[in-house]
Structure 1
Amino acid sequence: MLALEDITVVSLESGISAPLCTRLLGDFGAEVIKVERPGVGDVNRHWDTAVYGDSSAHVWVDRNKLSVELNLKADAGRAVFRELAAEADVIVQNYSPGVVERLGVGYEDVTEYNDDVIYLNISGYGRDGPYEDRKAYDMVMQGETGLIPMNGSPDAPAKIPLSICDINAATYGTISTLLALFHRERTGEGQELDVTMFGGILSWLGYFPHKYWHTDEIPERIGMRHHLLTPYGPHETADDQSVNFAILSEAHWELLCTDVLERPDLLEDERFETNEKRVENRGMLEPLIEDLIADYPRDYWAERLAEAGIPWGDVNELDDVLDHPQADHLDLVKEFETEDGPVPYVDTPIDSSELEFAAEPMPDLGEDTEDVLAALGYSSAEIEELRDADVI
């Protein structure tokens, strides 16, 4: 069964954060109706033409959805939206600040005719406060939340290549929606939800705020090393490959010194006797470890690390990851059949003994407009009138 097969989601979405959130809900079985601007659609449709002319971002975040073109600036378009929203269990929106209120499609408007609706707002900073009017995209938020200054090499900061702030908001948006659905199941009550990219990323800053609050430490950029642990990270081997290993405990440190590096003398060095001291003296320790690893090829170290039980792995390029034996074993890469040809995609990474997950390809712009309107009771003539009036 599909966990959300009886749930209808209507989404006013753009970019990545809300579209990824609703894609996850669609993966779980919800009917997701994506409302798009006629003739234009979501901005994510236009970022490249990598997949038979479709955007790679659109393919990523818009599977398991119906696309309805609807002009919300027109009275007739808002009337259609009200009919859609009246039957919705969930509404998701991440339009620019104030837009849904100006259009008359915000939470207060919708609850006039659907009092148990769950209405999720995803925004950069929230809908009130000193930054309420600011627009936010992933790169902007990576800078605002301190990710860029702490990421990269000592010589230069760097952005995180993944849309990490969008993914964060989509994840919290999905979790909050599921919580609200569970709450409604218990109480019969709908609710309004707010998820912010800013708040979400702050919640993911982990131990860094605690280090700052208690030791005044601002994280420095340390490239491929770990701020809290050492030795940790990729190390280049004699054959120009790498082994990537993690020393998380004193037991691992002892095994590394005795069984892997064959340098038990390091255990006697007071500068390295605890993880905190190793981090404090990383300028001496890490070059030493790097030089030792550089003396032998990747396979030599891989065998020794595995025998010692120390967590390790390779440093793979994207093509290696997509062809990874574990990806194949987990059946993570699947294909949609489309009119243009097969479209590979990464499947939902949840393996359930009871639940199934949806797998329908991304819709063309407005592909489902007529079917959705017909389901609402519109006749062919009425649909054509809406089209002639540029409402759909």
Structure 2
Amino acid sequence: MGNHSMSDKNLLAGVRILDFSRYIAGPYCAALLGYLGADITRVEKPGGSEDRPVVPIGGDGGAVFAQSAGNKKSLTMDLGHASAPEIIRRLVVLADVVIVNHPPTGVRKLGLDYDTLKAIKPDIILTTQTAYGHQGPWKERGGFDGIGQVMSGAAYFSGSPDKPVKTAAPYVDFGTALYSAFGTLAALYQRRDTGRGQHVQASLLGTALSFFSPMLIEQKAIGANRVPSGNRSQTSSPSDIFVTSDGHILLHVVGNGIFKRLSAAVGREDWIDDPRLQSDEGRGGKRDEICNYLAQWCSKRDSNTVLEKMAAAGVPCGPVLDPQSALEHPQVEAMEFFRKISMSGISDGVAVADFPVSMSDADTGLRSGAPEKGEHTEAVLLEVGYSIDEISELRRAGAI
């Protein structure tokens, strides 16, 4: 970590990360650490890894790549080439963290398992993301975000009894990236005090189970055997998506105080003293009665009227927006959350979500755009001791 100090405004300055991962869970983990100032080298196939074109947007990479590729260098390498082990060895000697998201056998086959890396550099930190973890009968199987959603019970409970629903937002992937980055930061912090590295492991299924854990805890404890009810919450009410005269809004009420304010706002003061509705549990049990009334009330008003009425009453309420409307919403624009980065093939760049955490005394976020395939191969290899002639030979041999 060189002369790095945790008091620097560029928090992870001097931390070097090798990112061998693909798609979201691994690359976004690396991106999060990059937002904090780490030096990240993305290692990909000579023609570009398979995650580059996902959700095409017309440039040298798709939207998934654009979101996680900022602040990174690109080194292309054929991991199956005879020269790859030596290149990896030289890279690891100067690295602090290696990120890989292959199943355990694949990681070992590539020579990126913890034992192999530790033999090269004893204090290395290896961060891996798998579909199912490192134990159990499915540990060698691959998987994507949706597998976590359906195996955690979340997709079952998000739909109707005969139609499970997977959410379009890949929250399992991004959640796994968050857990991985959190664990990696903790490992770096511990290494600063102990001088020891370690293996940080995260999994899609583990993330999904933890995100859906309240329902799983309830099921384990009392065998609730709840039947899905779509957007309508069962543990409080009203909490549902309602049709207005010109669109849809979501109302979410939890707690007696908010429920009393809602009751007054919609002309149902009688609900306030109704003995059946004195707790979230009681209101959840009467959710159909409450939500059916709210459905009628909302249907007679446009979305803005409902939103302003609820805002005045202090009741959480939001509009259901399509992607374009989300981008154009005044609150989204005021947050200045999207930042334009450069990307080869797109002349005016592409706007991506920046680091979603604001820090009052640190320099964080996007500092550079998405790299072209192999843009930094020569510079990185020179840094680890290869000569220009050796790099040319590696290129001629198809190793890079």
The CA deviation at 1:154 is 5.0
1:123 aligns with 2:130: yes
- 1:65-214 correspondence runs (5 A): 65-153=72-160, 156-214=163-221
Aligned partner letter, 2:210: S
Aligned partner letter, 1:74: H
SS of corresponding position for 2:30: helix
* Contact 2:94–2:384 under 8 Å retained in 1: no
How far, CA to CA, are the matches of 2:34 and 2:169 in structure 1? Answer: 22
* Contact 1:10–1:90 under 8 Å retained in 2: yes
The CA deviation at 1:103 is 2.9
Alignment match, 1:61: 68
Alignment match, 1:374: 382
Alignment match, 2:29: 21
Which deviates more, 187-196 or 333-342?
A: 333-342
Q: Which runs of 4+ in 1 moved over 6 A?
A: none
Which deviates more, 213-222 or 142-151?
A: 213-222
Aligned partner letter, 1:123: T
Ranges in structure 2 where 5+ consecutive residues have no aligned partner: 1-8
SS of corresponding position for 1:66: strand
The CA deviation at 1:53 is 5.0
From 289, 302, 312, the equivalent of 1:307 is 312
From 253, 258, 271, the equivalent of 1:247 is 253
Aligned pair count? 389
1:49 aligns with 2:34: no
- 1:235-314 correspondence runs (5 A): 235-237=242-244, 239-258=245-264, 260-314=265-319
From 18, 41, 62, the equivalent of 1:10 is 18
How far, CA to CA, are the matches of 1:246 and 1:266 in structure 2? Answer: 16
From 317, 320, 330, the equivalent of 2:322 is 317
- CA-based RMSD of the aligned residues comes to 1.8
How far, CA to CA, are the matches of 2:56 and 2:287 in structure 1? Answer: 46
SS of corresponding position for 2:233: coil
SS of corresponding position for 1:51: strand
The CA deviation at 1:198 is 1.3
Aligned partner letter, 1:242: H
Percent identity (aligned): 27
How far, CA to CA, are the matches of 1:129 and 1:153 in structure 2? Answer: 30
Alignment match, 2:228: 221
Which deviates more, 175-184 or 54-63?
A: 54-63
Aligned partner letter, 1:253: F
The CA deviation at 1:218 is 3.1
* Contact 2:247–2:302 under 8 Å retained in 1: yes
Show CA shifts across 1:19-45 (max 9, x none).
Answer: 111111112111111111222x32211
Aligned partner letter, 1:311: P
Alignment match, 1:362: 370
The CA deviation at 1:139 is 1.7
TM-score, normalised to structure 2's length?
A: 0.92
* Contact 2:233–2:284 under 8 Å retained in 1: no
* Contact 1:67–1:367 under 8 Å retained in 2: yes
* Contact 2:52–2:60 under 8 Å retained in 1: no
SS of corresponding position for 1:336: strand
The CA deviation at 1:269 is 3.6
How far, CA to CA, are the matches of 1:161 and 1:87 in structure 2? Answer: 39
* Contact 1:67–1:364 under 8 Å retained in 2: yes
The alpha-carbon distance between structure 1 residues 53 and 382, as it changes in their structure 2 partners (threshold 3 A), is closer
How far, CA to CA, are the matches of 1:125 and 1:356 in structure 2? Answer: 35
* Contact 1:51–1:343 under 8 Å retained in 2: no
SS of corresponding position for 1:383: helix
Alignment match, 2:4: none
